Amino acid sequence: MATMMATRLSRWSGALWSGALGVCAIIAVVRPADADPRAVVELFTSQGCSSCPPADKIIGELSADPSIIALSMPIDYWDYLGWKDTLADSRFSARQRAYSRMRGDRDVYTPQVVVNGSAHVIGSDRAGIESAIGKTAKSDSVMSVPVTMSLAGRQLNVSVAAGKLPAGSHGEVWICSITRAVPISISRGENRGQQVTYHNVVRNLLKVGDWTGNPESWTVPLENLTRDGVDGAVVYVQDGTRDKPGPMLGAAYTSLH
């Protein structure tokens, strides 16, 4: 793979997604979070991309900001080079392609950041990321819906407040189980010999339910989220569907330890 700042991929075959999570809806009083995040920043990265370590470092810096939910989503399409990214997941590759289809630009590359489900930026461009956060925040609906999570025994309670949606559309509620820091010693490819720490690495994506603008609450068993190394969870509400993702409407983070 040629070394370049943004390695572009215009076409790739579809990837499989796992099924939706079975959950039980409950009636609850939903209270807005004390400090709602202003942005969800998703980094599509790869151990095999020489331009990615600076972007991985930026995601680590952004993850320390409580007003930003920063996520690493390692893609798998560079695995064809002959060795596997140990964190890669085909669902993240599919999500990145779905974003490009919705934008209509077919721009799929690493490192790529998607801000609030709409703007894309080269992942190593910190100023560009901050600019995209500001620009996307100008929309009345982006990150406008209060979302809360709380642990209760062996279950996670998720609540989404009332909000407005464009006519004829609906939102989906998803949970990402994450590992906050994953150090990897890379033994092959362009980053051979480097140790890179990946931050807020998404380990699983599970659909909680649909949201139509009314207050909703769900309970999610922790057994559906936890696996080795998982120590946090992010829930987000996004306009559109898994295959046609739109702007981020709200999100929340909680530690699982």
pLDDT of 51-110, one tens digit each? 999 999 999 999 999 999 999 999 999 998 888 999 999 999 999 999 999 999 989 999
In 121-204, which residue ranges form alpha helices assigned H by DSSP? 126-136
φ, ψ (nearest 5 deg) of residue 101 = -65, -40
Q: pLDDT, tens digit, for every residue of 217-227?
A: 999 999 998 88
Radius of gyration of the chain from its Cα atoms, rounded to whole angstroms: 17
Whether 28 shows a pLDDT value over 60: the answer reads no
pLDDT in tens, 167-187: 767 899 999 999 999 999 999
pLDDT band at 35 (very low <50, low <70, confident <90, very high): low
CB 225 within 8 A of CB 177: yes
| Least confident among 20-29, 98-107, 113-122, 183-192 | 20-29
Higher-scoring residue by pLDDT: 6, 142:
142
CA pair distance 128, 230, nearest whole angstrom: 30
For residue 204, pLDDT over 50 is answered with yes
Q: Model's pTM, two decimal places?
A: 0.87
Which tokens in the block code for residue 186?
Answer: 């890379």
